[in-house]
Amino acid sequence: MSNFDELLQHAGDFGLYQKRISLLGSLPILLLAFLLIGVVFLGYTPDHSECCPHVSQFSLFCEDSWLADLNQVCLAGGFFIGALVTGYLADRFGRKSCFIASIFGLAASGICIIFSPYYPLLLFFRCLHGFFAKGAWTSTYVLVIEFFGSNNRKFVSVMSRTLYLLGLVLLPALAYYIPSWKNLQLAMTLPTFIFLVYHWVIPESPRWLLSQRKTKEAVKIVESIAKCNKRLLPEDFQEMDLLIEKQEEIVRPSYKFLFKTPKMRKHTLILIYAW
């Protein structure tokens, strides 16, 4: 067996297993859509004739109305820090571990936002909210996409964006029926705890396991993929163990790789500009 991609083709690189894990991995993105546009309702500044607990609690109106905008600024700051840090953590400690830790941090910081007695403290937790959200989004996307063959990875993008758009559609209805900003924040946060069960439901990326020389764990996952997809693995697929053992010392992830070659530098700069 020459490499993991060839083995994955035998196990099925676009079967029922991949479609199922793509759906599971995309479900958290529905809640992340709440996070991204929730400030439209959480930070809404009403007319003086209206009553809004959010702005009145922290006096975010008249000359101090600009402070409400810091809510989204802090969230974006958390995204920025998370983009720099969580990708490395996912490479270092595993996609699944990074996702579970990020989901827990996302849920905990969301609860802390509700009970923050001071607005600066709320902004701090809002920044943490963005940090963990970026970690959850990045790690789950990478985790899922590594179960697919290179020719079918567009399916993951379509699935994740579909769930994201569904979240954008559902939030206005949710906000309509829950006018209190604290209750709305709670409604957007509590479902996050459900995804902690993914610790037992979804496996680690077999590609990452192989990169860490955890061959036995990776082989078990590939066997599960083949069983779910009703495919048969070749008799010599265990030779992959020998290939892994012969690999040179594991190369640790580094930001330098983003600028190592001319083509990589070009792609990195394009992505930075696009974002």
Going from the C-alpha of 24 to that of each of 64, 122, 131, the distances in angstroms are: 42, 31, 22
Give me the CATH code for the 4-45+65-240+249-274 domain, please: 1.20.1250.20
CA distances from 62 to 44, 122, 210, 249 (A): 13, 20, 58, 61
CA 54 distance to own-chain centroid: 28
pLDDT in tens, the chain (275 residues): 457 888 888 899 899 999 999 999 999 999 999 988 888 887 665 555 445 554 456 666 666 667 777 888 999 999 999 988 998 899 999 999 999 999 999 999 999 999 998 989 999 999 999 999 999 999 999 999 999 988 888 999 999 999 999 999 999 999 999 988 899 999 999 999 999 999 999 999 999 998 888 888 998 999 999 999 999 888 766 655 545 444 445 566 677 888 999 999 999 999 888 87
User: What one-character DSSP code corresponds to residue 262?
Assistant: H
Cα–Cα distance, 57 to 117 (Å, whole number): 9
Q: How far apart are CA 192 and CA 21, in angstroms?
A: 18
Ranges of each domain in the chain: 4-45+65-240+249-274
